[in-house]
Amino acid sequence: MKQRLAESIQLADRVTKAADKAILFKQQCEDIKSKAVKLSNLLRQAAMLSSQLYEQPALLILFKIELVLNKALSLLYDIC
């Protein structure tokens, strides 16, 4: 569980860095960056409480988070 959270945090950080490098669509990229930073902070909080989380629902949520972050990262790489 902690490993999955760490991977999701790293992915959110990659989205943040990619949004910083964007040349086109600056405002949209700033919005994505802002949301990725918030998500990263929430994931860090969840990592501190991971022993208190129900594993199955948490893993499902992490799976969906990773899907969205991968899509965002793909879009950011396309416009850079």
Q: What is the pLDDT of residues 15-40, one digit of tens each?
A: 999 999 988 899 999 999 999 999 99
Sequence ranges of the domains in the chain: 2-79
Q: What CA–CA distances, in Å, run from 73 to 36, 47, 51? A: 10, 22, 29
pLDDT at 34: 98
What share of the chain in percent tops pLDDT 90? 86
What is the predicted pLDDT for the residue at 53? 85
* Global pTM exceeds 0.85: yes
DSSP string of 1-64, one letter each residue: -HHHHHHHHHHHHHHHHHHHH--S-HHHHHHHHHHHHHHHHHHHHHHHTGGGS-HHHHHHHHHH
